[in-house]
Structure 1
Amino acid sequence: MDQMGGMQTQIYRQSIALSNKKIKQLVLPIAMPNAPKKWKLNPYLTIQKGNIPMLPIKSSIRGTFGLNFYWGVGVILKLIRKKFKKENYNIIHTHCSGVAAPLIVGYIAKKIFKKPLVYTVHCCRVSTYHPMSKFDSLINGLIIKIEKFCLEHADYTIVLTNKTKEIIQKNYEIPNEKITVIPDVIDSDEFISNLTDKNIQEFQQKYNLDNNLKKIVFIGRIAYEKGCSVLLNAFKKLNRDDCELIFYGDGNERFLLEKEIERMGVQKKCQVTGYLPNTDISLAIKTADLVVMPSLHEEFGGLILEIASVGKAVIGSNIGGIPTLIEDGKSGLLFECGNVEELSKKIDEIIDKSDLLQEYGDELKKNISKKYSFQDNMNKIKKIYSTLGE
């Protein structure tokens, strides 16, 4: 499974949790290169490669092609084959990330199997998404129309925030009984269960982490919308020899980021690790002094739940769902989206104040643990399935 982003991580956690409730599922994600074509994680959860083989094109648009074309075509072909084999399902549940393919594939699946369709909107075009290129701006209106059509023809829509629910209902004709808010969730105890001294030491050795340097950390998919270039420019402006910047992750713009690091001449104080398994995310957070989320758009900000579980401080863009999770100056810091100068200044002001960093981390942990119950939200999804499947 592709767990390079918050949406993928949430799908993984949801699938496991629902299988533990004896809900039988077939999940069709983009498979990583070394993953088997099909495997069973447990008696109730089967994972099958969704995408057709992707061309080895190293470019900034490969991720878009992968999500749209390779996955969409692959899943539709598999669904048609399963229909001919007379396989049947009670519910179609599609997770949407602001691109057209999952919306279209969900609608087609509904038509193929003639079963209820549920969308979970992890990034909403009409609410949160900001076009990332000239071409993206040109097609944005078309994808909004696709989003409108598909959500209006769904049997149920799940969104992550009240803000998105309000905007969707203002712009699309979706009755209140067909939409609800179920945010990202986390089982904090399970997430931090691998934080042993041995694992922390091995993680530090694996990535050559220098204990004498303060670690400013980015965790996630390396793509335009995640704001990696904003953080890199802020780090360059910071110009401190006692800090290092670590990008934990991979993505379609990794090679561009590495070129920019070299161009700026900060490669000795900056590293890009590549793909990090979800089981290691807690270790990356634990060994950080400060985590930064410089996103240019962010529907919810599920990484903050993981940061809170470990009890670390975070600086985030003042956009999307991030301000609903971070109380500025109390449980972390917010900065104006894309403002390199402000981000650099805020990092410089806080990075030496270990007591304040710990205070922010403790407050964040206290607030998050109260609001995002893992079991409660999985029970809500199970109830939706049960109602639609009657």
Structure 2
Amino acid sequence: MLFENLDINKAILKSIKEMGYAKPTPIQEKAIPYILEGKDLIGCAQTGTGKTAAFAVPILQNIVSGKKLEKGPRTIRALILAPTRELAIQIGDSFTSYGKYLAVKNLVIFGGVSQHPQTKALKSGVDILIATPGRLLDLIDQRFIDLKNVECFVLDEADRMLDMGMINDVKKIIVKLPKVRQNMLFSATMPKEILNLTNSILRNPVKVEVTPVSSTVDTITQGLYFVNRKSKKQLLINLLKDKALSSVLVFSRTKHGANIITKELNKARIDAQAIHGNKSQSARQLALNSFKEGKIRVLVATDIAARGIDVDELPYVINFDLPEVPETYVHRIGRTGRAGQKGTALSFCDVEEKDYLKGIEKLIGKKITLIEDYTSKDIVARL
């Protein structure tokens, strides 16, 4: 199937074509027709499946094909909630790209930066608002935002919002929305709390599910190193001495760990930067842009900060620490091997992480290939 077969506005099709896309991904092919019909929808899809376009494209079309856009100050007609600043920015970029030839304005708001540019843009009017829950509630309380005209509400990465303790803020926002509206919820996993939330806000939703969370993309080569915790840094440095590892996303379980890893890599003359919640928004965006543009080889990230990182043709992911939650492993390695590209995911496992490894292998239904067992020997620095 081609995008032309989905009854999409010609102006949007032109933007899609210029972006180099011809065929919709499975989540796009399944979700777009339902959203164009105005149905509520639950989308169960992991990162890298094209879910942002799955809701951005039909929302844009529904806005331009509905009542005429108001002259002068506009009112918010679509609200998209995202858990992190990075993901909100990514979603905003997608709306800008797909709506390039439409008279539709979108705005991204998030905390950690001055609110003045955001409130200034709000005063001039926007059609689509992409927001993180905390800043949105703050600006609602200050009377900069009124949600009374919202026709479409999207909750993206709902499971991550649950992990980050945002669900109560989300519930506060929902009560401020009109009762009659279209609702969409996207989540890679469906824990009980998220299912309860969907039952409370969605009306007879259609469920669209692609690439179950337990699956890992076939194009990703997975490898494992057994290594003592104290030797992990040297193993990472040794691997990165190979220039073939041209662009690498490294996952750390903690913010402090991400800083230490980055410091050690820089000492070894390997260009690396860290991205996590304690970094300022400008520092996070600078690090991400430097990584995307190839100015640095290595980006060291925590799981929460990594949500929203969308890097085309990322060849390598390294799990410096194995995640405690098996599904997180699938999300991490899903940063590579996207859109049919090949990718490699390497994981370091110390003795205290072997239970995590068992959980991951049970979830994905296969053993991860062991490359080397360093637990009985020291790792010598590679010249």
Higher helix proportion (structure 1 or 2):
1
TM-score (norm 1): 0.41
Give the number of the structure with larger relative contact order, counting CA–CA contacts within 8 Å between residues 6 or more apart. Answer: 2
